[in-house]
A and B are shown apart, each in its own frame.
Chain A
Amino acid sequence: MVPISYYLGLSAALFICGIAGFLLKRNIITIFMSIELMLNAVNLSFVAFAAQLHNLAGQVFVFFVMVVAAAEAAVGLAIIIAVYRTRNTLNVDQVDLLKL
């Protein structure tokens, strides 16, 4: 069996990829995909822990995370459409009406 630390390492690496994408990318859709990547990284560790602990709960959580991620995706895409309609751009650097 693959040891759990491998799964956790992969999960952490994916999570960090997501964070890096969130911070470095400038296209809204890509940023949004980075967030999805982070959520899926968490799913991976949930499943890995469930397998290690012989506890089904971890697998059920993944269902909930998936549903929540889908709801978020729908709302996120709707917001992105609204932004595109008012600004005609998907570059976060140009979405700067509200400044510090």
Chain B
Amino acid sequence: MTPNEISYSHILPEVVLSVFGMLIMLAEPMLGERASRKPLGYLAFFGTLAAGAATLYQAQYPGFAFWHMVHVDAFSTFFHLLVIGVAAVVILSSLDYVEEETVHAGEYYGLVLLGAVGMCLMSSAVELVLIFVALEISSIATYVLTGIRRKNAAGAESALKYFLLGSFATAFFLFGVAMMYGATGSTDIPNIALTLAKGSIPGLVYVGMALMFVGLGFKIASAPFHVWTPDVYEGAPAPIVGFMSTAPKAAVFAVMLRIILQTGAPGWLYLIWGSAALSMTLGNLGALLQTNVKRMLAYSSIAQAGYILVAFTAAPQEATSAVMFYMLCYAAMNVGAFAVITFYSGKDERRVHLEDFAGLGATNPLLALTLTIFLLSLIGIPLTGGFLAKFYVFQVALKANMVWLTIIGVLNSAVAAYYYLRLVVAMYMKPAPEGAVRVAAPLPMKIALLAAAALTLYLGIVPTGVLSYTTEAAAQLLTAPAVKVVTGQ
């Protein structure tokens, strides 16, 4: 494969997802008014399967394409599979939700797929403007998905908040890109790396890095850019929260790894240190006060973003590997937890408070068991993926002499156990309220839950396969050939 050519195999998963997204858009108006929308959901699920296959096919042809705009390597393949997997689980878990809430199914499934296009593209893009466009594809899709329950005042309000703060953040990211372009004369990550390696670093680079960090910090909900998170997660539909708290975050972390580690730009370490410490502390303290489970998990996701940021302070290769492993575990447990909430909360999401979960262990054993697995993993109990991920992150941070940050992290994990366990206690130790529902989860939901739970446990018990893959991907990311591109008139 010559590197500069137009090569559709390098963007095959994105093409497949787009085609399926558009098919769903075209098919939806064709269905009758009263017809069930489930076929659209199955079509979307099939689309994710096809995209997954396309990713595996694409992995055989690594390298640059489209004039150094995208780079396919083990790193991008990992994040592609992660995003597509999350999308598949979310689609399976929302099949009944969409029917029940009477949201527009065509838009719903179409936007999940089209949003996934943006996220996939973010993980393989090595050019800042393409990253910006991909970031916007994913963001705009999630803005709409957040507000897809239009008749619901809280839904519209959360969409508004997400939209305003999200586009505010985007402007910062874009300004950062402009500064980098001005400082180095290129928006190509390999090219920027070459320019920066050559000699003195202009002040604009520091400005650009800081601005880009602000923009990306908003998207991963790390403190001090986290204020929108609880409101948005509370008002958005539960399956969509599962989606947007994992897949876009994974993609943004991929972008951060590429920008920070591949360009070798200086000055970000202190930003990350501060942001990580703040996110962990504010996230966990905020979660202690919540009685709404969706809000609690929102604060928990801020804290989790903080743990992931801790990994960034380590040596490049270990940092990359730790971030990838943590992100996979986090995706499995978070998307699983929100799938449980999706099903259990019922019509209009009425049952989302802590007391609503009382006695779930007796009334819905499967839901309670899987939710417990996800919560234990979020705490970081051994034999779950969350434990190993956290252990790995703190280990690499210690190796890089980040003692204080590690201490803050470990203290925070201890605090966090309280609020997660409160939910587990409610499920198993408290009696079920009068008239508790005993509805068995439908098959697609069961598959989604069991897949997420199985992955969480698998990562906790036999992580070696995944770990060796992430190590290999990290090595590939850091030795990616920097190619001089002749840009100009």
Contacts and interface: CB of A to CB of B under 8 A. Distances in A.
B164 A64 contact: no
Given A35-B168, A54-B488, A86 B152 contact: yes
Q: Specify the main secondary structure of chain B where it touches its partner.
A: helix
B181 A39 contact: no
A83 B181 contact: no
Nearest to B153: A86
A76 B163 contact: yes
Contacts of A54: 488-489
A68 interface: yes
A83 B164 CA distance: 13
Interface string A69-81: 0011001101110
Given A35-B167, A58-B181, A82 B175 contact: no
Interface in B148-172: 150-154, 156-161, 163-164, 167-168, 170-171
Interface in B110-166: 129, 132-133, 136, 140, 143-144, 147, 150-154, 156-161, 163-164
A65 B488 CA distance: 20
Given A35-B164, A75-B143, A98 B178 contact: no
A68 B144 contact: no
A53 B154 CA distance: 48
Contacts of A72: 136, 140, 167, 170
Contact of A79 (B156, B179, B234, B488): B156
Contact of B185 (A18, A55, A99): A55
Contacts of A22: 164, 168
Interface string B221-246: 00000010011001100000000000
Contacts, number: 124
A27 to B, nearest CB: 12
Interface in B168-193: 168, 170-171, 174-175, 177-179, 181-182, 185-187
Nearest to B143: A75
A79 B163 contact: yes
Given A75-B140, A82-B147, A98-B231, A15 B160 contact: no
B147 A46 contact: no
Nearest to A98: B231
A46 to B, nearest CB: 5
A32 B488 CA distance: 35
B479 interface: no
Nearest to A23: B168
B175 A79 contact: no
B487 A55 contact: yes
Contact of A38 (B133, B159, B171): B171
A55 to B, nearest CB: 6
**Contact-residue size bin, chain A (C-beta under 8 Å from the other chain):** 35 or more
A24 to B, nearest CB: 13
Contacts of B230: 98, 100
Contacts of B185: 53, 55
Contact of B174 (A42, A53, A56, A86): A42
A49 B178 contact: yes
Given A39-B174, A55-B488, A83-B156, A75 B163 contact: yes
B153 A87 contact: yes
Nearest to B187: A57
A11 B174 CA distance: 13
Contact of A41 (B144, B160, B175): B175
Nearest to A15: B175
A53 B182 CA distance: 8
A17 interface: no
A39 to B, nearest CB: 5
B489 A95 contact: no
Interface of B: 129, 132-133, 136, 140, 143-144, 147, 150-154, 156-161, 163-164, 167-168, 170-171, 174-175, 177-179, 181-182, 185-187, 227, 230-231, 234-235, 487-489
Closest 7 CB pairs of A and B: A38-B171, A86-B153, A49-B182, A98-B231, A82-B156, A45-B178, A68-B136
Given A46-B178, A98-B154, 12 more contacts: A22-B168, A35-B171, A42-B178, A45-B175, A46-B181, A57-B181, A57-B187, A61-B129, A78-B144, A83-B160, A97-B157, A98-B230
